[in-house]
Structure formats: C-alpha cells, structure tokens
Amino acid sequence: PSIPCPSLLPSIHASIHPSIHPFHPSIHPPSIIPSIPSIPIHPSIPGTLSPSWKRFGKNNVILSDIRKPADNVFYSGPFIFADILDYKNLREIVVNNRITWLFHYSALLSAVGEANVPLARAVNITGMLHNVLDIAAEHNLRLFVPSTIGAFGPTSPRDPTPDLCIQRPRTIYGVSKVHAELMGEYYHYRYGLDFRCLRYPGIISADSQPGGGTTDYAVQIFHDAIKTGKFKCYLRPDTRLPMMYIDDCLKATLEIMEAPAEALTMRTYNISAMSFTPEELAQEVQKYVPELEMSYNVDQVRQAIADSWPMNFDDSNARRDWGWKHDYDLAELVTTMFSYLGSDSRIAQAN
Ligand SMILES: NC(=O)c1ccc[n+]([C@@H]2O[C@H](COP(=O)([O-])OP(=O)(O)OC[C@H]3O[C@@H](n4cnc5c(N)ncnc54)[C@H](O)[C@@H]3O)[C@@H](O)[C@H]2O)c1
Ligand SMILES: C[C@@H](O)[C@H](N)C(=O)O
C-alpha cells in the first residue's frame, strides 16, 4: 500500500453534529491499516525522504508539493502535485492511495508569514485544520505535524522553555502552530486521532535553501562562507536560539511516529540538540573558513521574533518517554555541513 500525499485533508463539514461526526467511532469503521505503514512526506524538510525510504521502502512513500522538486527527488520515488487548499483533490489522493500515516509539513515560516498574513493563515490554519486533521481523523491515519520554537512568545519562560508553559506567540506562524498543537490534541482526546507533534528547533541542512524563517542565517552562513568568504547576519551576535541538524530532526520524527502509544504521556514534545548565537556559530565556521568576515545588519522584524523565542529548550519529557537523544552538537554540525559542502572557499581557492 502506498502513502498519501502530505498535508492535505478534505474538511469534514463542521456543521455535522458532533454525535454523528463521520469519524465518531460508532459511525466510522476503522480504516484498513496496511501491514507496512505508509507515509506521505513533504519535500520541504530536506533529506526527509531517505530515512523514510530506508525504513518503509520507496514505493510506500509518496512525496508531494506545489513546487517542482529537484530532479534527484522527483526521480527517486512517487511524487504528486497537491495543493493543501484543494480539499477535493486531496481527499481523492488519500483514499485512492490508501494512506495510513501522514507527515504534514506544508507551511509558511515565521518571517515570510509576517510578510503575507492572509496566505499564512490559509496555508497554516485552513490547510492544517480543515484538511489535514479532518482527513486524518476520517481515515484513522497516524498524523505527524511539526511545531516549532516559534510556538512560544515573549511571556513564555525562555531559558529553558519547558513543554508546558504559557504560549502567546506574536507571529501568525507561531499562532498557527499553537492552533495545530491544540487542535491535534483535541482530536486525539475527543475522537482518538493518533496525532503526534514535535516542536523543532531551527533545522539546519546542507542540501536545501532556507525557507523564509528567522533561523535561516544558520543555514545561509555556510553557503556564503564558501562562496564569498563574507556573511552579513540579520540577527545580533548574541541572539541565542535552539538549533538542530537535519539528521537528528528526521531521527526524532521517525522515532516519535514509531513509539508505542502507551509510551507517550504527551502528544506534543519539545526536542533539543544545541543552542547557539551567531557569534558562536561564526567562530566554529572560521575553523574551516578562517578568512570568513562576519558583519551584522540587524533586521528589526526578525530580531524581534528571535527575542520572543526560547533560548534553550527543555526536552526532558521526550528523553524520558521515548528515549530521544541527539547525536549532533555544534562542532559535529559544522564538521558535517562542511563535509557535505566542502570548505574551500572561493577566496581560499583564489589565494
Ligand atoms: N526549517 C526549520 O527550521 C523548521 C523548524 C521548525 C518547524 N519547521 C516546520 O517544518 C515544516 C517544513 O519547514 P521548511 O523549513 O522545510 O519550510 P519551507 O518553506 O522550506 O517548505 C514549506 C513547503 O510548503 C509548501 N507549500 C506552501 N504552500 C502550500 C500549499 N498551498 N500546498 C502544499 N504545499 C505548500 C512549499 O511549497 C514548501 O515546499 C513546516 O511546517 C515548518 O513549520 C521547520
Ligand atoms: C524555527 C523555524 O520554525 C523556522 N526556521 C523559522 O525560523 O521560522
């Protein structure tokens, strides 16, 4: 059995009285769960596919997006176009492919969401609520939705930030992610939806371009260091944020999805690996590109967002409940990034 396209769910009409809601157990017979979990993956978190392919087989993983994927992704396994806002098409895809697991990654990130609030609201809330949740519940899917450090705000404890505390984010991105967390947990407790959610730190990978978030600098610095030997950072040098290498992110995501339900005391968990400032990251990068020149031109919008986010994450519940532990710290991250990208900057080559 194959897997559904990621992030799309037809909405079950909210007007239906809860007692006869289509996925109320008495109404909705449990869907057939194939022997192999089938997983829809969104290509946006780079590298997402390979661990899933390894684990479940390429033909059991369907990738979708509204953007054309890179050739190496497109020709590596099933890919389909799917607009998270096109409910009818998505429902057909989910039913025709007999989906059992769904990883929903579509979203507009923090900075790009502030620049287009109506679109962020449509994709991050309408797409998430009126599609992803509804079809997951209607078809008894196991659903993963990533949340973020951005789901906290200036009144949350910042150092460290625990799983359970005040969440009053000041971005449409953060508000939409708290909405996803709360609605996913409501559907779990009210209707038995197997909803699982991780609050990711800033995710860093070598094989993708940043997607318009506040932590993008931690990806861009590697590309600029190699290309020009210069990097202009839009955050202050002392801005500390939780970060994670992509392999740890994907490991945690598969682990939470495969964890036995009885091990989960929560449905939404913080996960953490490291926290660093632009200054600390630059010092580590300069061990590979000594000629790197750092400069700072603070972007007030993204600085204000970063100043409202956690500085350090408390992920003790994830480590206790399902054995989470990270593999990459800052030194490991930088070594791995340069092993992938190469560290001979153009300047060094010219010299
Ligand atoms: N990258 C990070 O640091 C980070 C950290 C925390 C959480 N996350 C979460 O992980 C997910 C992916 O993040 P990312 O950094 O890869 O973001 P990204 O911006 O690179 O990718 C988002 C994807 O959503 C797709 N999309 C947008 N509108 C769509 C629509 N209408 N229908 C279908 N797809 C649509 C885009 O084409 C894009 O491929 C998001 O939910 C984000 O909140 C990311
Ligand atoms: C942190 C994460 O959610 C994303 N990279 C952002 O900065 O918006």
Check residues 86 and 329 and name the one with the higher pLDDT. Answer: 329
Q: How much distance in Å is there from the Cα of 343 to the middle of ligand 2?
A: 26
Instruction: Please state, in angstroms and rounded to a whole number, the distance separating the CA atoms of residues 275 and 242.
Output: 4
Answer yes or no: is 179 within a domain: yes
Cα 334 to Cα 339: distance, rounded to the nearest angstrom? 8
CB atoms within 10 A of CB 141: 26
Residue 306 above 60 pLDDT?
Answer: yes
**Average pLDDT of the residues of the chain:** 85
> Residue 15 has what pLDDT?
24
Q: Is the CB of 213 under 6 A from ligand 2?
A: yes
| Any atom of ligand 2 within 6 Å of the Cβ of 308 | no
Task: Give residue 122 CA to ligand 1 midpoint distance, Å.
Answer: 14
Residue nearest to atom 2 of ligand 2 (CA): 202
With a cut of 50, say whether residue 11 has pLDDT above it.
Answer: no
Could you tell me if the CB of 45 is within 6 A of ligand 1? yes
Does residue 229 share a domain with residue 85? Answer: no
Taking each helix axis from N to C end, the angle separating 278-285 and 330-341, rounded to the nearest 10 degrees, works out to: 50
**Domain with 54 in it:** 12-203+244-270
Give pTM, 2 decimals.
0.88
Q: What share of the chain has pLDDT > 70, as a percent?
A: 82
To test ligand 2's pocket by mutation, which of 44, 45, 109, 124 has the most ligand atoms within 8 angstroms of CB? 109
* Tokens at 339, concatenated: 């092993």
Whether 173 is a known active-site residue: answer yes
- Mean pLDDT confidence for 156-160: 98
Residue with more model confidence, 131 or 117: 117
pLDDT of residue 18: 27
Count other C-beta atoms under 10 Å from residue 274's C-beta.
24
The average pLDDT across 237-242 equals 98
pLDDT, average across residues 297-317? 98
Q: Does the C-beta of 213 come closer than 6 Å to ligand 1?
A: yes
Shared domain check, 100 and 192: yes
In the prediction, which pLDDT does 35 show? 31
Query: What's the pLDDT at 48?
Result: 55
pLDDT tens digits, 245-286? 999 999 999 999 999 999 999 999 999 999 999 999 999 999
Cβ of 66 below 6 Å from ligand 1: yes
**Residue 89 vs residue 8, higher pLDDT:** 89
Q: Are residues 265 and 284 in the same domain?
A: no
Report the residue among 112, 167, 203 best suited for mutation to probe ligand 2: largest number of ligand atoms under 8 A from its CB.
203
**CA–CA gap between residue 68 and residue 338 (Å, rounded):** 27
Q: Average of pLDDT values for 173-181?
A: 97
Q: Specify the range with the lowest mean pLDDT, choosing from 48-52, 91-95, 146-150, 161-165.
A: 48-52
CATH label of the domain that carries residue 176: 3.40.50.720
Tell whether 174 and 25 lie within a shared domain. yes
Q: Looking at residue 307, what is its pLDDT? A: 98
> pLDDT value at position 207?
85
Q: Are residues 81 and 124 in the same domain?
A: yes
More confident residue, 243 or 47: 243
Number of domains into which the chain is organized: 2
Residue 110 in contact with ligand 2 by CB distance below 6 A: yes
Q: Is the pLDDT of residue 203 over 60?
A: yes
Among candidate residues 87, 105, 173, 288, the one labeled active-site is 173
**Claim to verify: residue 126 and residue 197 sit in the same structural domain:** yes
Distance (Å) from CA 203 to ligand 2 centroid: 8
Q: Is the pLDDT of residue 5 over 50?
A: no
Residue 249 in any domain: the answer is yes
Q: What is the pLDDT of residue 188?
A: 97
Return the beta strands (E) in the chain as ranges: 39-41, 61-65, 79-81, 101-103, 142-148, 194-200, 202-204, 230-233, 241-245, 268-270, 274-276, 293-296
- The CATH number of the domain holding residue 236 is 3.90.25
Evaluate if residue 19 carries a pLDDT over 70. Answer: no
pLDDT for 341: 92
C-beta of 215 in contact with ligand 2 (< 6 A): yes
* 320 found inside a domain: no
220/182 same-domain check: no
184 & 161 share domain = yes
Distance 4 CA to ligand 1 centre (A): 17
Question: Above 50 in pLDDT, residue 33?
Answer: no
Query: pLDDT value at position 349?
Result: 55
pLDDT tens-digit profile of 37-62?
A: 555 555 455 455 566 667 777 788 88
Which residues have C-beta within 8 Å of that of residue 293, sequence separation ≥ 6? 229, 230, 231
